[in-house]
Amino acid sequence: MMGFLSAHGFDPGPTQRPVLAGAVTSVIATLPAGALFAAAGSFGVLTRDIFQLPPSLTALILGAASIGSGALYGMLFRRGANDRRGGWLFGLSYGFALWMAAPVLILPLVGRPVIAAGLPAMGFLGAFLLWGVCVGVLFPYVHRPLHADLDGLSAEFLERLGPGAAAHRNLGLPGSDA
């Protein structure tokens, strides 16, 4: 693994946008996770007992936290987030880490020790895990269209660069007839 990273690098190139891809992916992943969160009664507990804010303001806070968490996912995992086979595992572990960190970060800000129990507590865990899996699975598919083209070249041409270029007889370079 270290040989691969030293040859190809772990940092995203200038044409990649992992932070933007993470933010966009998190918006998509919030839909199923939010449905589970509301169905389990976790949103009501969060609105009524923990934040004690109107539901619309709580939803805005959760949406901003989701987008920030998705951007952080892209920033942390960088090129590794594009793994189509292991992305679900990256996302699941990231969702679990967020679930573990949420009470530590939120409860001191709220100022009162209120924790969900029963079905709402399972909804919290399930929503974080579902969100993480969705982010991990969807990230490569959202990230791919966000890559910028180099010098206006098409995506088909860019796919023929790199290790797979030797398989193509005609690279389609401007001015090449081979």
Tell me the per-residue pLDDT of 89-107, one tens digit each, with 9 for 90 and over: 999 999 999 999 988 887 7
Residues of the chain falling short of pLDDT 50: 7-8, 14, 150, 154, 178
Structure tokens at 18: 């992992």
Tell me the per-residue pLDDT of 1-32, one tens digit each, with 9 for 90 and over: 555 555 445 555 545 678 888 999 999 999 99
Cα first-last separation, the chain? 36
Q: What span, in angstroms and rounded, lies between the C-alpha atoms of 81 and 146? A: 14
Contact predicate 111/167, CB 8 Å: no
- Return the pLDDT at 82: 81
DSSP 35-96: HHHHHTTHHHHIIIIII-S-HHHHHHHHHHHHHHHHHHHHHHHGGGGG-TTTHHHHHHHHHH
CB atoms within 10 A of CB 80: 13
Burial label, 103 (beta-carbon count in 10 A; 0-12, 13-18, 19+): middle
Residue-level length of the chain = 178
